[in-house]
């Protein structure tokens, strides 16, 4: 029963571990409690990963920088001459996703402020990161189609 605690992130265990052990001792283990613990583990890791920093940047900031670099690559190196229709469609979808992600990011900045806008705590930030993911997928499809 105590080994479930070790599946949670370290910060979570340090803050809530003792309380959870006490509650588990009082309630016992049932299939419903085990299921709730597994959902809690998934939720705790989701929160931990969405706030994790890479070299001092939040994940959303890293995605923004990568996408800006990709836009620079598109505008400088790749011409649309000779690209198949499918590649053009993938590029259009990628650019629309990027544009919408930037609009959501700016709207989030005006709504909650600049620093909180780059966290994953607001719905607009999550939607912006999701659009950045679709941008990345369609951009990769475009690159594959242009290089084939």
- Asked if residues 141 and 80 have their Cβ atoms less than 8 Å apart, the reply is no
Q: Per the structure block, which two tokens stand in for 145?
A: 């189609």
Instruction: Read off the pTM.
Output: 0.44
Q: Element (H or E) spanning 58, and its range?
A: strand 57-58
Asked if pLDDT for residue 146 goes beyond 80, the answer is no
> What CA–CA distance (Å, rounded) separates 67 from 73?
10
Q: What's the pLDDT score for residue 124?
A: 81
Q: Which of residues 136 and 66 earns the better pLDDT score? A: 136
> What does each C-alpha distance from 79 to 74, 105, 142, 143 come to in angstroms?
8, 28, 12, 11
Q: Per the structure block, which two tokens stand in for 15?
A: 């803050």
The torsion defined by the Cα of 76, 63, 137 and 139, in degrees rounded to 10, comes to -10
60 burial via Cβ count (<10 Å: 0-12, 13-18, 19+)? buried
Asked if pLDDT for residue 4 goes beyond 80, the answer is no
> Could you report the per-residue pLDDT of 63-122, keeping only the tens digit for each?
676 777 766 666 655 555 555 677 777 888 888 888 888 888 888 887 888 778 778 788
Q: Where are the domains of the chain?
A: 2-50, 54-147
Q: What's the pLDDT score for residue 35?
A: 80
> Could you report the per-residue pLDDT of 23-36, keeping only the tens digit for each?
888 887 788 888 88
> What does each C-alpha distance from 103 to 98, 106, 107 come to in angstroms?
9, 5, 6
> What CA–CA distance (Å, rounded) separates 130 from 123?
11
């Amino acid at each position: 029963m105590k080994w479930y605690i070790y599946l949670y992130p370290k910060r979570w265990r340090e803050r809530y571990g003792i309380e959870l052990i006490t509650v588990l001792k009082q309630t016992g283990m049932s299939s419903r409690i085990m299921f709730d613990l597994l959902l809690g583990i998934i939720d705790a890791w989701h929160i931990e990963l969405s706030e994790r920093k890479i070299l001092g940047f939040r994940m959303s900031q890293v995605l923004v920088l990568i996408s800006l670099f990709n836009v620079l690559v598109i505008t400088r190196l790749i011409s649309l001459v000779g690209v198949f229709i499918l590649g053009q469609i993938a590029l259009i979808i990628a650019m629309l996703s990027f544009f919408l992600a930037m609009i959501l990011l700016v709207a989030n900045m005006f709504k909650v402020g600049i620093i909180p806008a780059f966290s994953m705590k607001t719905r607009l930030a999550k939607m912006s990161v999701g659009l950045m993911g679709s941008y990345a997928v369609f951009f990769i499809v475009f690159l594959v189609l242009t290089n084939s």
